Amino acid sequence: MMKDIKRITNGSPYQQYLYSYPHKTTYRPLAQPTSLQEAWSREGVDDLFLYMHIPFCAMRCGFCNLFTSAKPRGGEQGAIVKSYVDAIERQALQFREAVPHARFSRFALGGGTPTYLEPEDLQRLFAIAKNLFGMDLKITPTSVESSPETASLERLTVLRENHVDRISIGVQSFIDEEVRSVGRAQKREEVCQTLTNMREMGFPILNIDLMYGLPGQTQERWQYSIDEALQFAPEEIYLYPLYVRPLTGVSKLARTWDDERVALYRFGRDYLRARGYEQVSMRMFRKPLARTDDAPKYSCQEDGMVGLGPGARSYTRELHYSTDYAVAAAGVREIISDYSARSDQTLREIDYGTRLNEAEQKRRYAILSLLHIDGLRYADYRERFGGAVQEDFPELALLREAGLCSDRDGALLLTDAGFERADAIGPWLHSEEVDALMTDFDLK
């Protein structure tokens, strides 16, 4: 049955941030668990992405629905963090033993907030990458997420000593009142000092996250935050819309503000473009000079990803897997505790995830390609799947007719209107099976 394009053109532009497909809420206990060795036996393993997930933060922001726990430090809580890092190392060892020939060409620490860890624990993670997986961090693109309150000079020094070339910092706003409105305690002076430190320490790529649609935010305030970010000449800027999601601190606001968010998005997009940034996706803007053939890919969307930690997803072509998923604090703590207590035997087994048949593999490729600046290239799709994407997904013609994408240079590319509604286009392209699984997921 052909999809209804009015769901995109007449509905809210802000339906779901699709950073991967299928969403983690489609994962379930596997009917037939498998071993790491079996799962990776038919995969190319000489160019993998290693991702370590650190599910700890200094605070839980009101808009956050990530898999993270706030303030597990000091006394018994400090032991929780140490036990977690131990489990990361044990899981890494089990993967290395199961897939001994795996080679990694990209590395990222995400979260949560990796810089929440003590410097010695950060060093342990880099040691795992170097000593266990044989990564030469001098030449391996490496990214780390951080926050103003955790990116101390001592921690930043650890990152630079390990040749981290991309650091991302979630600022959201340079106006204290705005960040307080979504449950975040940070001071502009602290943010600016942290950014100054990052620039002075010479990180090649600095990414700053900003957020629009915050309570009381005006265009003038939005421009102020963008201007403040530009003072530090970031190679990348992400512009995120505020979402109100279930079980988050701002879900009680019970309001809609689509028109406000669209207006702020358009202003930010045009403002950054006028200052030399190119738009890569709905959210990502970068300086053209920051784009090189060997630049790291931080989409975390390509097949061939090995995720360590309970919040991390791993991707092969046919199997996506992780642990259970939660948003509420109690559910997250329980999953972290269970992960840290897992035996080596269970760390070698995959028992939770989703299997992708050929149709879902095709859909995943089409969706993730279309939502990126490079677009959905017809020849690449045919080479990978042996058929025409237009025949497999006739609904793409509706996007073209609606002015949301266009054909250019052998690819289907989003127009400005398409990028603006990317958070509606992505969910619109879901399969019925994926939508049903997401609807039936019991969010904890």
For residue 216, is pLDDT > 70? yes
pLDDT at 57 over 80: no
Residue 293 binned pLDDT confidence (cut-offs 50, 70, 90): very low
Q: Output the pLDDT for position 437.
A: 96
Q: Nearest Cα to 191, choosing from 232, 149, 234?
A: 149
pLDDT at 245 over 60: no
- Give the per-residue pLDDT at 251: 38
Residue 19 pLDDT grade (very low, low, confident, very high; cuts 50, 70, 90): confident
Model confidence at 77, pLDDT cuts 50, 70, 90, reads: low
Q: Helices marked H in 14-148 — which ranges? A: 36-39, 76-98, 119-127
Mean pLDDT, the chain, as a whole number? 89
CB neighbours of 37 closer than 8 A, spacing ≥ 6? 98, 99, 348
- What pLDDT shows up at residue 289? 66
**Rounded Cα distance, 243 and 93, in Å:** 38
d(CA 222, CA 218): 6
Dihedral sign for Cα atoms in the order 403, 407, 408, 412: positive
For β-strands 205-212 and 236-241, DSSP reports them as parallel
Q: How far is CA 424 from each of CA 67, 124, 164, 234, rounded to the nearest angstrom?
A: 23, 41, 34, 28
What is the average per-residue pLDDT within 24-44?
94
Per-residue pLDDT at 187 exceeds 70: yes
Token reading at 136 = 């030469």
pLDDT single digits (tens) 316-343: 999 999 988 776 777 788 888 899 999 9
Residue 253 is predicted with a pLDDT of 47
The candidate with the shortest Cα–Cα distance to 213, out of 247, 244, 251, is 244
Q: What pLDDT score was predicted for residue 283?
A: 97
Please give the Cα distance from 155 to 157 (Å, whole number): 5
For the ranges 62-76, 108-122, 203-217, the lowest mean pLDDT is seen at 62-76
Tokens encoding 120: 């010695």
For residue 251, CA distances in Å to 15, 64, 111, 214 come to 15, 10, 21, 13
Maximal C-alpha separation, the chain: 61
For range 267-279, the mean pLDDT:
98
The reported pLDDT for the residue numbered 259 is 87
Q: Report, as an integer, the average pLDDT of 418-434.
A: 97
Q: What percent of the chain has a predicted confidence (pLDDT) above 90?
A: 75
Question: How far does the chain reach from its first CA to its final CA, in angstroms?
Answer: 33
pLDDT at position 1 is: 61
Tokens of 25: 């809420």
Query: Please, what sign has the CA dihedral across residues 239, 241, 246, 252?
Result: positive
Q: How would you label 65-89 residue by residue, b for 16+ Cβ within 10 Å and e otherwise?
A: bbbbbbebeeeeeeebbeebbebbe
DSSP 129: I
Q: Could you tell me which CATH number the domain at 6-13+357-436 has?
A: 1.10.10.920
Q: Is 138 helix (H, G, I), strand (E, B) or coil?
A: coil
Selecting from 3.40.50.720, 3.30.1600.10, 3.90.45.10, 3.80.30.20, what CATH number does the domain 24-290 have?
3.80.30.20
pLDDT at 254: 42
Q: Do 58 and 113 form a contact (C-beta atoms < 8 A)?
A: yes
Give the Å distances, CA to CA, from 211 to 205, 215, 228, 319: 20, 11, 13, 33
- Give domain limits for the chain: 6-13+357-436, 24-290
Percent of the chain with pLDDT over 70: 89
* pLDDT for 111: 85
Q: Is 66's pLDDT higher than 70? A: no
